[in-house]
Amino acid sequence: MTSQAENELLTRVGPGTPMGALMRQYWIPACLSSELVADREPVRLMLLGERLIAFRDSSGRVGVLDHRCPHRCASLFFGRNEEGGLRCIYHGWKFDTEGNCLDMPNLPADQDFRHKVKAKAYAAAERGGLVYVYMGGARRGTPAAGARGDAVPARRDRSLLPATPVQLAAGAGRRHRHRALRLPACRQARGRRHRSRPHGSLPAGDPRRPPRRARHRLGDDVHGLSSGRARQRLPPLRPFPDAVLGNVPERALRRQHHRPGLGPDGRHPHHAVLPELEPADTTAHPHRCGCRDPGFRTLFADPAEHDRLVRPLAARRQCGERLSDRPRAAADHELQRDHRRLPTGFRRHREHGRDLRPHPRAIWCRATA
C-alpha cells in the first residue's frame, strides 16, 4: 500500500518534481508526424503538465515550444507559422524551432535584442511517423544539445525507436486534432476490462452517461465489441493510416495488441496501442479517458470552489464533449474562457510556469456529476 507521500511522489510529474524528472529522462511521444504540416497551424500539446505547441517550419523541421511567447505570454498557438518560424500574433516576435528569436518588428533596429531572447524549446525528433519530445534538458555528460538542430546525438537517438516504418496503429481519427490526448486513452484501451470501467458503471438513462458515440470514441465501451451485432454498429474498419513503430514484425504486434478486444483481425482504430506512451499525469481527467480538465479539483483548497468555477464545463467534457472535437475557433474561445474563470492565484501561478500547487488531498478526485 502506498502512503500519501508516495502517492504524491508517484503522480506529480510537473517540472521540478522527482517523478517528472524521471519521466523527462525518456523521449516522450507527442503527436503524429502527419499532424504537423509545414507552414500550417501549430498543434497544442500537453506533456507532463506543460502546455506546449508543436509546429513544422518551412524546411520541415519540427519545433516544440512552450505555448507562451516569452515577450508577453500570449499563446503562440495563435501564431502565424511563417517562413522559417512561428510569429506571435501579439507583437510579432518570431521564433524558430529551437526557440531562437528571429525578429522583433515592434522595436527599432537599434533597440533590437533578439539575440538575448529565447523561447522555451524542447528537442524533437521524428521516428516512424511519431514526433518524440525530449524534455530532460542536458543529459549527463552530453553537451547541452549543441547539435540539436543538425543531428540527434547518439545517446538520445538510442532512446528512440528504430526508423524502420511498420504499418501499425496510431489512431485513425481525423476528428482528433489533438492526438496527444489520445495516447493515454489508447493505453487505457489495451485491456478489455479497463475499457469498460470509466463510465460504464453509470446506469442507462443517467444524464452523466456519455452518448454512445462518445463512449465508443473514448474506447471505454465494450458491450461485447467482439460480438457480431456490436461490430455492425462500429464505423467501418480502415487500414491504419500512419506508419508508426517497430522492428517487430507487424503481425506479431497486431496480434499482441489486439488480442484482448477484437481478435486477430480486429483492427478498430481505438485498439491502437503504442509501446511507448505519454504517461497519464495529474493534469489528465481523473477518469483518464483522454479528456482534460484544466481546473481539476485537487488544485483547489476547497473542492466546492472547483465545483463553482469549473464544474459546468468539466461536466460537459466528461460527457464526451471535448475540445478537440470542435472547430478550432470554438475550442480556442473555450480554452481562454476556462482560463479566465480560474481564480487569480491559480492563473498567476500557471503563468509563471511553475508546477501545479501541491495539495494534501488525494490526487484523483472522486468524479461527481
Partner 1 sequence: MIVVTRRRLLEAAVALRDKGTVPPLVDNPEASWSARAGELVAPADQPWFDAYEAALGQAVRQDRRLAAE
Interface ranges with partner 1 (CB under 8 A): 2, 6, 9-10, 18-19, 21-22, 25-26, 140, 155, 158-161, 246-248, 256, 275-276
**Residue among 295, 302, 293, 292 at smallest CA distance from 349:** 295
> Of the two residues 140 and 340, which places its CB atom closer to partner 1 in the complex?
140
For the beta carbon of residue 43, count every other beta carbon within 10 angstroms: 23
Q: Minimal distance in Å, beta carbon 113 to partner 1?
A: 36
How far the first Cα of the chain sits from its last, in Å, is 29
Question: Which of 84, 80, 100, 83 minimizes the C-alpha distance to 92?
Answer: 80
Beta bridge partners of 87: 80, 94
What torsion, rounded to 10 degrees, do the Cα atoms 51, 57, 61, 65 define? -20
For the beta carbon of residue 222, count every other beta carbon within 10 angstroms. 21
Shortest distance, CB of residue 98 to partner 1, whole angstroms? 23
Burial (CB count <10 Å: 0-12, 13-18, 19+), residue 348: exposed
* Nearer CB in complex with partner 1: 161/323: 161
Q: How far is CA 249 from CA 12, 191, 306, in A?
A: 36, 22, 48
Number of Cβ atoms within 10 Å of the Cβ of 73:
16
- Minimum Å gap between C-beta 62 and partner 1 is 20
Q: Which is nearer to partner 1, 117 or 248 (CB)?
A: 248
**290-320 b/e with 16+ CB inside 10 Å = b?**
bbbbbbbbbbbeebeebeebbbebbbebbbb
Q: Minimum distance between the CB of residue 160 and partner 1, rounded to whole angstroms?
A: 7
152 CA to centre of own chain = 23
Set of cell numbers at residue 258: 489486439
